[in-house]
Structure 1
């Protein structure tokens, strides 16, 4: 992959991820600003586990993001897609680092899933899927508005003996397919989950590359299934303690 190709792929991965964040937020009725070039952001606090902003270019500057965001209440977060922002002076700390991953279109999925796969079709099934993904219960994070052909989003469920034991989400945006929220209740099913998700992506969008981001053991699993790590990303979280400290310092 040339330098130009890598840059394009990284931007596509960030744009794809922002597209899914945007869909989740809009399903919750939250306003968002998606300029398509430098950033995506929500002007209101986003649902749990979802950032308030995603950078779409390494040229994006912190002030252009923070001026529109709710940085006063706890929990404000930024997905720094190119790991090149310094937000410590603005009261943020690093929540985690990860790697963007890429898999070319047409690459066959290795192995056999051994599980019964299907797409979540209705509200009740989505609630069961979220409970399986969460490991405890459904909190309503994923709204029924995310279902449907026009959304270009697919919630995949893998069953054994009728029970959901693994799953993932596919979304088409930015000219690529994103794989996210992949889970398996049994560690032995992790490879089966990747195989099932990639098989489903190839069946729906065979002409599109597949992207996502992972870290740690999850990154190792993705690399086993034909992905390449293509660049770092970083998620920043603004804590209430730091916010109070900055306010005192500014007075």
Structure 2
């Protein structure tokens, strides 16, 4: 059980770590964004699955995110990190809702399966991305090799007995926490093994944070995560 103050602090760290990861990935594509006092925004359309803006504080307004993004065509998205904005009047629709999660510092509840290690070379990252994308070559380009140069990012990869990547996650450590995102398990791989493997590669001295929804949230709870608060993703449909 954590106090309200500790929960709020963890949420702030989770939000900032996630925004930093969005910035890092966009920068690796030659599309760096900018941090303002209440939001991170990107003036050019971001890569697929990544937001064009992320609110950083509870008092962020629609103007904080909308003035810094490209709306010349539909498709821009906003991560409303505290689920406080109503962008419907601005031509956006609610794409989905999710829940911020956290796990205290310490080792994972269960030991990692054999075969978990970081992807360190362009070839290893390519294999990780291919497994993450389900073999979609276009989607796999979301993770360029330039990301390997970032000291705060780890691509955790779980391998089967034949050396194939069958599970993985991105671990980011920038704001006194480790963020976990893009966690996946291929067909036939237990999601519980993916959580155990990813957590085994996280710094045990830091809390682990992220966000999930649906069955993925259920799996995260089973791995020892509690909830911090809601978030929303808005999509520009105008």
Q: Deviation of residue 115 (structure 1)?
A: 3.3
Instruction: Give the stretch that moved more between structures: 40-49 or 183-192.
Output: 183-192
Cα shift readout 1:143-183 (whole Å, capped 9, x = no counterpart): 111103x4310001111121111111100122210011111
CA distance in 1, matches of 2:93, 2:171: 30
Q: Deviation of residue 187 (structure 1)?
A: 5.3
Deviating runs (4+, > 6 A) in structure 1?
Answer: none
CA distance in 2, matches of 1:129, 1:211: 21
2:122 maps to 1:123:
yes
Q: Deviation of residue 64 (structure 1)?
A: 1.9
CA distance in 1, matches of 2:29, 2:156: 21
Number of residue-to-residue matches in the alignment: 234
Q: Which of the residues 211, 220, 232 maps onto 1:222?
A: 220
In our comparison, the structure showing a higher alpha carbon Rg is: 1
Taking a change above 3 Å as real, the CA distance of residues 59 and 137 of structure 1, as seen in their structure-2 partners, is same
Alignment of 1:232-243 (within 5 A): 232-239=230-237, 243=238
Match of 1:52 in 2: 52
Match of 1:96 in 2: 96
Q: Deviation of residue 229 (structure 1)?
A: 1.0
Q: Note the aligned Cα RMSD (angstroms).
A: 1.3
Report SS of the residue matched to 1:222. Answer: helix
CA distance in 2, matches of 1:146, 1:208: 22
Q: 2:24·2:32 contact (CA, 8 Å) conserved in 1?
A: no
Q: Deviation of residue 3 (structure 1)?
A: 2.0
Q: Deviation of residue 17 (structure 1)?
A: 0.4
Q: Deviation of residue 223 (structure 1)?
A: 0.5
Match of 1:154 in 2: 154
Cα shift readout 1:182-217 (whole Å, capped 9, x = no counterpart): 11113542111100111110xxx2221100000111
Taking a change above 3 Å as real, the CA distance of residues 195 and 166 of structure 1, as seen in their structure-2 partners, is same
Unaligned runs of 5+ in 1: 244-251
Match of 1:114 in 2: 113
Taking a change above 3 Å as real, the CA distance of residues 111 and 208 of structure 1, as seen in their structure-2 partners, is closer
Unaligned runs of 5+ in 2: none
TM-score scaled by length of structure 2: 0.94
Match of 2:66 in 1: 66
Q: 1:157·1:168 contact (CA, 8 Å) conserved in 2?
A: yes
Match of 2:142 in 1: 141
